[in-house]
Each structure stands twice: as C-alpha cells, then as structure tokens.
C-alpha cells in the first residue's frame, strides 16, 4: 500500500528508504545525488533544485529527512507546537507526498507512452521485413520454377 519515494533525479530513481534530501518545492533526492547536484553545499552558496530549478535560498529549503524516524523522534518532533502549526505541518507533508505520487504516475504514463510508440515502430519495421522477405521468397520460387528441368518419369 505504501508507495516508496524515488530519487527525483531521472538518471537515478533510487528507492528512498532511509535518508533523503527534501526540498520546499516538493522534490526529493537520494543523498548521493544531493551531494553531486550541489544540494548539500553549505549555507551561503545559492542552491537550485535539480528537478525544477527553484532557487533554494533558505537553509531549510533543502534538508535531510529521516524516512524511518525513531519512536522518540516521532514523539518529540511536533511536541510543543500549537495544534494549528501541527496541522499545517501535517498538511504540507501530505501535500508533498501526494505531489510525489502524482509525479510518479505522470512518469509511468510517459514511460508507457514511449514503450507503446517503440512497440508500434518495431511492429511496423517487422511487418515491412516480413513483406520484403515474402516477396523475395516469391521471386525465388518463380525463378526456381523457370529453371525447373523437364520432369523425368522413372
Ligand atoms: Zn539519486
Ligand atoms: Zn524542485
């Protein structure tokens, strides 16, 4: 039932199970991609989201998230906040998740479309090959019949 987020770098798409870098523009990257794409660079250096090019100027615009938080973390992370803020954080977290799942659907649909197109092209090529082969066979058969020596009866 639970959908596992994948690194938003299209060349990577690693399943994210442990730690990941999340951005306020609703993108998520594995630690390795985050390092190589400059998301982990220290404060002061302008960061840009590799997925949507949003400027991530605040320190919390891209942070490491624990995807499997410990019990004590779950207990303490929202403790002390007012119900309004708790609900706001929860709804933003849900929005993030729903954006990620909808993007995954778009990606899968794109993949399916590309595969269908490729299949269509291949199938056309195959039909053409079969047609050519059949006509060649026909030509050869005709030639063969032309050269057929007089039938001898034994
Ligand atoms: Zn990655
Ligand atoms: Zn982004």
Residue 25: the pLDDT is 96
User: Residue 106, SS3?
Assistant: helix
At the top level of CATH, the class of 1-68 is alpha beta
Strand-pairing partners, residue 20, are: 65
CA of 51 to the centre of ligand 1 (A): 11
CA of 3 to the centre of ligand 1 (A): 17
> Which tokens belong to 80?
């002390």
| Low pLDDT (below 70) residues in the chain | 1, 41-44, 148-154
Domain boundaries, the chain: 1-68, 81-146
Name the residue among 57, 53, 11 with its Cα closest to residue 30.
11
CA of 42 to the centre of ligand 1 (A): 19
Could you report the per-residue pLDDT of 44-71, keeping only the tens digit for each?
677 899 999 999 989 899 999 999 999 9
């Amino acid at each position: 039932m639970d959908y596992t987020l994948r690194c938003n770098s299209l060349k990577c798409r690693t399943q994210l199970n442990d730690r990941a870098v999340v951005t306020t523009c609703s993108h998520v990257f594995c630690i390795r991609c985050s390092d190589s794409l400059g998301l982990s660079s220290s404060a002061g250096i302008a960061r840009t989201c590799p997925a949507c090019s949003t400027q991530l100027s605040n320190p919390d615009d891209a942070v490491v998230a624990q995807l499997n938080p410990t019990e004590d973390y779950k207990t303490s992370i929202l403790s002390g906040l007012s119900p309004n803020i708790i609900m706001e954080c929860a709804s933003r977290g849900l929005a993030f998740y729903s954006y990620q799942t909808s993007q995954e659907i778009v990606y899968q649909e794109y993949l399916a479309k590309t595969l269908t197109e490729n299949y269509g092209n291949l199938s056309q090529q195959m039909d053409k090959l079969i047609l050519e082969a059949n006509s060649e066979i026909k030509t050869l058969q005709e030639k063969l019949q032309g050269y057929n020596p007089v039938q001898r009866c034994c």
